[in-house]
């Protein structure tokens, strides 16, 4: 048995890494009551997963030994393949594979981060492991407020995703690239999705469905900058969306969405400034946070929402 986890027919347990607090990450996951991809139940989070043709609803919690417990709900025991997939998914989703001690050391001496990090100690960059879902969320969120972005995502998921039922509730799987590639702009119009965004979503879905854009391809790039170039070459993906995907899906710790409005507002508020930071000031901050720009950004976002 792998010593990093314990496993039973319907449970997988993963020891928590250092500098991790489940409650802090659950608090982040609870920030919108309109989230459709998982459900918070007291001190647990429930989510639908799919591995090949097998689906499951899992409940993720923290046990008394400070382990992450992944419990499969329902009467059908998961296959070994599904158990392995669920463990890998949750490790990626909750960022359990990253040693963030160097980031915390950097933050101790940083004028912006030294007060922010202790407030949210144990928070990780909560991921979106599926590339298509991550890109869609980035595109959907372009130039609209967060509340409406959640509404659009819910409409899209409930119209074209797959519901996995458990005890009278529906747990949603994100629409597949194959399904989305077969849609038209007119199919998405009733959701109040703009024509331009609809075109972008369908185009990206087609690239992924045809194997012309993969997570492996981006991870095989020479680094964050080349991966960003590969993404921004795609219609509908600008630097902001690319860096969002690099942060939350591809796990580039040096991704930095320099044009993000939330990042600007957080810095402005923390420094008690009247104006938002200039691009030159942001570039200086990025140099200060070199190698950990994504984590600095995520913690600063957390001060706002």
Active site residues: 260
Q: What number of helices (H) and strands (E) belong to the chain?
A: 15, 8
Supply 112's token pair: 């912006």
What lies within 8 Å, CB to CB, of 71 at 6+ separation is 10, 11, 58, 59, 60, 61
Distance CA 200, CA 197 (A): 5
Distance CA 90, CA 260 (A): 27
Distance CA 228, CA 92 (A): 20
CA 240, distance to chain mean position in Å, is: 15
Q: Are 191 and 36 in contact (CB under 8 A)?
A: no
Distance CA 300, CA 294 (A): 10
Distance CA 301, CA 255 (A): 14
Residues forming a β-bridge with 165: 170
Q: Are 300 and 116 in contact (CB under 8 A)?
A: yes
Residue 165 per-residue DSSP state: E
Largest CA distance in the chain: 58
Q: Say which residue the tokens 């890998």 belong to.
A: 88
Distance CA 282, CA 280 (A): 5
Q: Say which residue the tokens 């009247």 belong to.
A: 274
Residue 49 per-residue DSSP state: E
């Amino acid at each position: 048995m792998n010593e990093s986890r314990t496993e039973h027919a319907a449970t997988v347990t993963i020891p928590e890494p250092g500098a991790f607090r489940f409650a802090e990450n659950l608090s982040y996951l609870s920030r919108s009551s309109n989230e459709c991809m998982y459900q918070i139940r007291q001190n647990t989070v429930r989510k639908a997963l799919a591995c090949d043709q097998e689906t499951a609803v899992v409940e993720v919690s923290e046990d008394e030994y400070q382990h992450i417990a992944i419990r499969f709900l329902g009467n059908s025991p998961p296959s070994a393949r599904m158990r392995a997939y669920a463990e890998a998914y949750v490790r990626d989703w909750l960022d359990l594979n990253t040693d963030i001690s160097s980031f915390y050391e950097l933050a101790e001496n940083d004028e912006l981060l030294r007060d922010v990090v202790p407030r949210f100690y144990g928070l990780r960059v909560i991921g979106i492991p599926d590339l298509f879902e991550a890109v869609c969320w980035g595109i959907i969120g372009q130039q609209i407020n967060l509340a409406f972005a959640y509404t659009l995502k819910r409409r899209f998921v409930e119209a074209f995703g797959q519901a996995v039922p458990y005890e009278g509730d529906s747990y949603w799987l994100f629409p597949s690239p194959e399904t989305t590639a077969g849609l038209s702009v007119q199919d998405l119009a009733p959701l109040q999705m703009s024509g331009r965004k609809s075109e972008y979503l369908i185009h990206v879905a087609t690239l992924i469905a045809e194997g012309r854009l993969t997570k492996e391809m981006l991870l095989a790039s020479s680094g964050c900058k080349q991966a960003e170039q590969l993404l921004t070459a795609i219609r509908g993906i600008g630097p902001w969306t690319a860096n969002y995907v690099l942060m939350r899906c591809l796990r580039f710790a040096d991704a930095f969405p320099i044009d993000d409005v939330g990042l600007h507002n957080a810095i402005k508020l923390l420094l008690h400034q009247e104006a938002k930071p200039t691009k030159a000031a942001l570039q200086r901050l990025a140099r200060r946070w070199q190698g950990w720009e994504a984590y600095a950004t995520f913690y600063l976002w957390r001060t706002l929402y």
